[in-house]
Amino acid sequence: MNYEFSDKVTGLQPSAIREILKFTADPEVISLAAGNPAPEAFPVNAIKEITSKLLETNPVAALQYSITEGYTPLRESVKKRISAQGCFDPDADELIITSGAQQANELSCKVMLNEGDTLICEAPSFIGSLNAFKSYNVDLVGVEMDEDGMNLEKLEAALKNAKKPKLIYTIPNFQNPTGLCTSLEKRKAIYALAKKYGVMILEDNPYGDIRFAGEDIPSIKSMDKDGIVIYSGTFSKTLAPGLRVGFVSAPKPVIQKIVVCKQVSDVHTNIMAQIICDEYLRNYDMDAHLKEIRGIYRHKCGLMLSEIDKNFSKKITVTRPEGGLFIWATLPDGCDMMSFCKTAVEKYKVAVVPGTAFLINESDKTNSFRLNFSTPTDEQLVTGCEILGKLSKEMFG
Amino acid sequence: MNYEFSDKVTGLQPSAIREILKFTADPEVISLAAGNPAPEAFPVNAIKEITSKLLETNPVAALQYSITEGYTPLRESVKKRISAQGCFDPDADELIITSGAQQANELSCKVMLNEGDTLICEAPSFIGSLNAFKSYNVDLVGVEMDEDGMNLEKLEAALKNAKKPKLIYTIPNFQNPTGLCTSLEKRKAIYALAKKYGVMILEDNPYGDIRFAGEDIPSIKSMDKDGIVIYSGTFSKTLAPGLRVGFVSAPKPVIQKIVVCKQVSDVHTNIMAQIICDEYLRNYDMDAHLKEIRGIYRHKCGLMLSEIDKNFSKKITVTRPEGGLFIWATLPDGCDMMSFCKTAVEKYKVAVVPGTAFLINESDKTNSFRLNFSTPTDEQLVTGCEILGKLSKEMFG
């Protein structure tokens, strides 16, 4: 049979990350290519206690069909928590639980954009979201990143020139893949531009809770007086990603549409996982837990940066993130990034992700690659950076 | 802000079921309107044992990110199980885990159909699937059901006349909402027609494992020599729906596309739930469990049918299902079905679902309503049928 697939998926390819990650199945490969939280950051004992008690006292609630909007007590817990951060306004907003922030971001695109409308995003950006948007046949326009977030002139040009721009997608805190943080000034400017051009903002904040240096910067959602910001978050980086529990806070009419789309997507999110998150928020000390895991990431990021400083060719520049999971390394023009990444994994068994994986078109040019410090052990971080450093000096001097 | 939503969702409305189900939040209402499996059918002790052992011995595997295709041992377990039923051919097919069969059905539509293509389905059919298909702006054409499945003349007419027909959606076993079973002869004929007109079939089989009378009928997938059948299944009715674990078996090129779409939808299905299903299949006796829960449903269906026979107006005819969760009741022309359903819930506090909820357009006409026997207790079944019976005699004689 010669299958004729929909236009939505014919252009979607398994990403270059997946190809690189195939090498990481080899146990001898040191992977600095993943995006997994550190397993030692999972609150395993608490999850064990909660699950055991739940299945003892109320198994049916944990196993029966539930409502699409999510487990009501968890919705209340999350509303309370993010209200304190200015990300939920009970008068204007509603909040539902999603199957990870991935689903929140995908459904936000589905409800707001028709095929052929334009979604404006940071370039580079999180490949999972870019592919979600592409799967609805929307046009993606990337806006180059400065050190403090999207270049505003290029953002305004995109808003002016794009065909039916509807949504700006941004990860303002410790962006994946660059680790960059959008400054307060730029957050205000992005909000003002969205308002001026009548488009909405999708603010994706998976990493905000794992800031390990510097001061918190107010979210764009906290500036939302006009009902134009959709805000997504997740427990993937604070509790555990395998739970697949995220959430989305947005103006009530937007949430109503997202609920209908979530219902047809997976009916509801795994209910046991939702109860685990809620019990954790109610009966354990989330803030103490965050303090602990921030310590883990502070250490790992610091270790990787010091190993990079010690070992890498001086031609390579890197971002110095204050949170999140990633460092973005850039080679000067004339150096072959792709050849470096391929040689590193094929010959020396150290995997990083070529920056092209995070562009709207993988054929576009970048001389950067992404390093992850959350998944590897300290020993792997040191050895991996030594090997990459040696190779970088060999190749680039 | 005056929100401008995508064309995909402006037409999607919360269904009439949801409106009726709002009444069922009232604890005094007897709900024959749900679609929940019987909670006494959940293997609670086994799930408790598996979860406790898992979080004791291998918590990180249950909490870390996992692969989109699903937990590899579970995929193997399901392949083995459905291979025995002819629903998986290792040479031609691949199988992945999904977040319920809902996700399998939604993504099948997403990968195969463009906006404006036609999807042909049974009329009436499962509203969750119909809404999923509508959310991709495909045209739905309903084919009337005979007692033994879709009317073949009408199916062929639809295949001939529809604009770009791409997929036939069918629930051959104990269909939701009618409880009807498609005969072997008709399954063969549907397959032959799909082949003749070059369209694919999406065979949704959530209820096949809970046949409590009669003989199993081979699935359409088991006849698939041409790589044209996508087959979806679920653990929602056999283990527990709150787990949100389903699966889809289809020709390899189709699964490749579904994987890419699943990745952008929720990255992967909750991993603890996947491991629970796998451990159950490996270390417990699924067949003995199915025998036990079939006994529960045989009893409940039989009880409801005998109460219907005893109490309902003789003008009401009902289907007599050999499996599944639902009975379909039909009033003769001239009787007002909607008024009956509304009076039942508003005045007498017994909820059923008006048949219009299962039509492609809720404004289309049907004089049927759906009864569920799996969720209510025996006492509720008896009282509910007595009340409906009394009302039906008052209204229709």
pLDDT tens by residue, B69-94: 999 999 999 999 999 999 999 999 99
Spatial distance between the Cα atoms of B333 and B184, rounded to a whole number of angstroms: 31
Tell me the shortest Cα–Cα distance from B107 to chain A, in angstroms.
8
Asked if B264 lies within 8 A of A132 by C-beta distance, the reply is yes
CA distances (Å), origin A255, targets A75, A99, A107, A260, B16: 13, 15, 10, 9, 19
Please report the pLDDT score of residue B138 as a whole number.
97
Spatial distance between the Cα atoms of B308 and B314, rounded to a whole number of angstroms: 9
Q: How far is CA B144 from the centre of its chain?
A: 18
Q: Please choose, from the candidates A355, A274, A268, the residue with its C-alpha nearest in 3D space to the C-alpha of residue A318.
A: A355
Tokens representing residue A15 in the block: 């990403």
Is B242 in contact with A271 (CB distance < 8 Å)? yes
Residues of B in contact with A267 (CB under 8 A): 100, 102, 128, 241, 244
Of A3, A42, A52, the CB nearest to B59: A42
Q: Which of A11-20, A214-223, B354-363 has the lowest mean pLDDT?
A: A11-20
Q: Which residues, other chains included, contact B46 with Cβ-Cβ below 8 Å and sequence gap of 6+?
A: B280, B284
Q: Which residues, other chains included, contact A163 with Cβ-Cβ below 8 Å and sequence gap of 6+?
A: A116, A117, A118, A139
Please report the pLDDT score of residue B16 as a whole number.
61
pLDDT higher than threshold 70 for residue A144: yes
Look at the block and give the residue holding tokens 């039923």: B85
Tens of pLDDT along B107-125?
999 999 999 999 999 999 9
Please report the pLDDT score of residue B314 as a whole number.
96
pLDDT higher than threshold 70 for residue A14: no
Tokens representing residue A222 in the block: 């906290």
Tokens representing residue A197 in the block: 């051009």
Tens of pLDDT along B163-178?
999 999 999 999 999 9
Tell me the shortest Cα–Cα distance from B146 to chain A, in angstroms.
27
Spatial distance between the Cα atoms of A68 and A65, rounded to a whole number of angstroms: 9
Is A147 in contact with A180 (CB distance < 8 Å)? yes
Of B63, B106, B242, the CB nearest to A65: B242
Residues of B in contact with A7 (CB under 8 A): 114
pLDDT higher than threshold 80 for residue B226: yes
Is A38 in contact with A324 (CB distance < 8 Å)? no
% residues pLDDT > 90 (chain A)? 92
Q: Residue B207: how many CB atoms within 10 A of its CB?
A: 26
Please report the pLDDT score of residue B14 as a whole number.
64
- 268-307 in chain A: CB under 8 A from chain B: 268-273
Tokens representing residue B168 in the block: 């036939």
pLDDT higher than threshold 70 for residue B142: yes
Q: How far is CA B322 from the centre of its chain?
A: 15
ipTM for the predicted complex = 0.96
Kindly provide the residue ranges of all beta strands, DSSP E only, lying in chain A, ordered along the sequence: 30-31, 93-98, 118-123, 139-146, 149-150, 165-170, 200-204, 229-234, 246-251, 317-318, 326-330, 350-351, 353-354, 368-372
pLDDT higher than threshold 90 for residue B23: no
Spatial distance between the Cα atoms of A186 and A243, rounded to a whole number of angstroms: 33
Interface probe, candidates A264, A267, A269, chain B, greatest B C-beta count within 10 A:
A264
pLDDT higher than threshold 70 for residue A336: yes
Tens of pLDDT along B39-55?
999 999 999 999 999 99
Q: How confident is the model at residue A214 (pLDDT cuts 50, 70, 90)?
A: very high
Q: Please choose, from the candidates B331, B373, B377, the residue with its C-alpha nearest in 3D space to the C-alpha of residue B354.
A: B331
% residues pLDDT > 90 (chain B)? 92
Is A374 in contact with A389 (CB distance < 8 Å)? no
Q: How confident is the model at residue A10 (pLDDT cuts 50, 70, 90)?
A: confident
B68 three-class SS = coil
Interface probe, candidates B44, B55, B270, B289, chain A, greatest A C-beta count within 10 A:
B270
What does DSSP assign to residue B12?
Answer: -
DSSP-derived secondary structure for A222-257: GG-SSS-EEEEEESTTTT-GGG--EEEEEEHHHHHH
Q: How confident is the model at residue A15 (pLDDT cuts 50, 70, 90)?
A: low
Q: Phi and psi at residue B367, in whole multiples of 5°?
A: -110, 25
Mean pLDDT for the stretch of residues A295-311:
98
Please report the pLDDT score of residue B19 as a whole number.
66
Q: Please choose, from the candidates A246, A271, A203, A226, the residue with its C-alpha nearest in 3D space to the C-alpha of residue A60.
A: A271
Q: How far is CA A335 from the centre of its chain?
A: 28
Tens of pLDDT along A197-213?
999 999 999 999 999 99
Q: How confident is the model at residue A361 (pLDDT cuts 50, 70, 90)?
A: confident
Whether B56 has its CB under 8 Å from any CB of chain A: the answer is yes
Q: Which amino acid is at B276?
A: I
What is the sign, positive or negative, of the torsion defined by CA atoms of A95, B69, A13, B91? negative
pLDDT higher than threshold 70 for residue A18: no
User: How do the residues of chain A divide into helix, strand and coil, expressed in percent and rounded to 5?
Assistant: 45, 15, 35
Asked if B242 lies within 8 A of A62 by C-beta distance, the reply is yes
Which residue does chain B place closest to A225, by CA atoms? B1
pLDDT higher than threshold 70 for residue A20: no
Look at the block and give the residue holding tokens 């996508």: B230
Please report the pLDDT score of residue A23 as a whole number.
78
Spatial distance between the Cα atoms of B85 and B66, rounded to a whole number of angstroms: 28
Spatial distance between the Cα atoms of B260 and A310, rounded to a whole number of angstroms: 40
Tokens representing residue B335 in the block: 């009787």
pLDDT higher than threshold 70 for residue B36: yes
% residues pLDDT > 70 (chain B)? 98
pLDDT higher than threshold 70 for residue A16: no
DSSP-derived secondary structure for A118-149: EEEEEES--HHHHHHHHTTTPEEEEEEEETTE
User: How do the residues of chain B divide into helix, strand and coil, expressed in percent and rounded to 5?
Assistant: 45, 15, 35
B337 three-class SS = helix
Tens of pLDDT along A167-180?
999 999 999 999 99
Spatial distance between the Cα atoms of A311 and A67, rounded to a whole number of angstroms: 53
Asked if B5 lies within 8 A of A66 by C-beta distance, the reply is no
Q: How confident is the model at residue B18 (pLDDT cuts 50, 70, 90)?
A: low
Spatial distance between the Cα atoms of B254 and B229, rounded to a whole number of angstroms: 10
Q: How confident is the model at residue A345 (pLDDT cuts 50, 70, 90)?
A: very high
Q: Residue B384: how many CB atoms within 10 A of its CB?
A: 27
Mean pLDDT in chain B?
Answer: 95
> How large is the angle between the packed helices A378-396 and A286-311, nearest 10 degrees?
30
Is A226 in contact with A251 (CB distance < 8 Å)? no
Interface probe, candidates B245, B266, B274, B377, chain A, greatest A C-beta count within 10 A:
B266
Alpha-carbon torsion angle A51, A56, A61, A65, nearest 10: 80
Residue, of B21 and B5, whose pLDDT is higher: B5
β-strand partners of A353: A370
Tens of pLDDT along B348-393?
999 999 999 999 987 788 999 999 999 999 999 999 999 999 999 9
